[in-house]
Every structure is written in structure tokens, then in C-alpha cells.
Amino acid sequence: MAKIAASSASASTSTTGKLVLRIKSNEGMKRSLRQTKSREETKANQNKSKQKIDAEKPKKPPTAFFYFFSFSFLREDFRKEYQQQNPDVKSMRDIGKACGEKWKTMTYEEKVQYYDIATEKRAEFDRATTEYNKKKQNGEYEDTDEESEYDE
């Protein structure tokens, strides 16, 4: 069973985006991602731009898994226990793997909790995107859409 039916509670919301559930062998997924975010943060820090600029494109909200991930870190039990079980483990990646594995083993009901949070967050993100789009319409940025071509 363990089949993640697309008819999830979050799916009921039927947000603007279409939820395409496709479970494929993503084994070959590329993991070489460039987490340039660190640089952005550092850069921002150097810039002393503590205030976040809403004008920027809204960043992608953390997924359910990420919430679970962060939550696990908040849970001292998890970290402590894991460290006790794996004293050799430095920390990050290994725990991530464990989390991922556990995540897959988690039941739908367990995951739905995080999914719900992620769904709500997505709604806000969607709203932010809309507002961002609106702002763009004001002609605030260089982002010249292809549709901006109209006779004059």
C-alpha cells in the first residue's frame, strides 16, 4: 500500500497550482545543487540589508519534508538520540539521510501534518507571487515580459 494517493487533504484545497503527483524513479536526480543561498545571506549581511526586500521574488516556501527536517532538529530527542546511536556521525548529511528514510517510512497521516503546513505556506507564497506580479505590472523592474509589446 504505501501509495501516496493524490487525493490528499492538502490536495482538496486545489490551490491555483495543479498538483501533479508523479512517483518516478528519481534515483538519478542530480544532487549537485549549488546552495548559493549561503552567499546571498552573507552578501545581505555585508550589505547590512537586514530588512528583506519584498520586491524580490518570493522564495519558495519550505516543503513538508523541510518542516519535518527542521522539526526534527528542534526535537532534542531526535538529535541527541541520533548522536548517541551514531556518535561517529558528524551531523548534517547523515541525519538528513536518516530523516529522508524515516520520512518515507512515515505514514500518510503522519506526513499530512507537515503537508498541511506546507500547503498553507504555499497559499501565502502564491499570494506573494500574485502581489509580486502586480508590482511588476507597475513597471518597476527591468523584467520586460514578452507581453509588454503593444503598439503605441
Partner DNA sequence: ACTCTGATTGTTTGG
Partner DNA sequence: CCAAACAATCAGAGT
Binding site for DNA (CB under 7 A): 10, 15, 17, 20, 22, 29-39, 42, 45-46, 59-66, 69-70, 73, 90-93, 96-97, 99-101, 103-104, 111, 115, 118-119, 122, 125-126, 129
Q: Considering the complex, state which of residue 45 and residue 139 has its C-beta at the smaller distance from DNA.
A: 45
CA distances from 24 to 9, 20, 58, 114 (A): 22, 12, 28, 22
Q: Considering the complex, state which of residue 131 and residue 139 has its C-beta at the smaller distance from DNA.
A: 131
Q: Considering the complex, state which of residue 21 and residue 139 has its C-beta at the smaller distance from DNA.
A: 21
List own/partner pairs for 34-43 with CB under 8 A and 24 or more apart: none
Q: Considering the complex, state which of residue 56 and residue 139 has its C-beta at the smaller distance from DNA.
A: 56
The x, y and z cell numbers of residue 58, run together, are 518570493
Residue with cell 519584498: 54
Residue 51 beta carbon to DNA: minimum distance, rounded to whole angstroms: 16
Residue 33 beta carbon to DNA: minimum distance, rounded to whole angstroms: 4
Cβ distance 115 to 123 under 8 Å?
A: no
Residue 128 beta carbon to DNA: minimum distance, rounded to whole angstroms: 9
HSE-up of residue 54 (Cα within 13 Å, Cβ side): 10
Secondary structure (3-state) at 56: coil
Cβ distance 8 to 108 under 8 Å?
A: yes
Residue 152 beta carbon to DNA: minimum distance, rounded to whole angstroms: 25
Q: Considering the complex, state which of residue 50 and residue 93 has its C-beta at the smaller distance from DNA.
A: 93
Residue 77 beta carbon to DNA: minimum distance, rounded to whole angstroms: 15
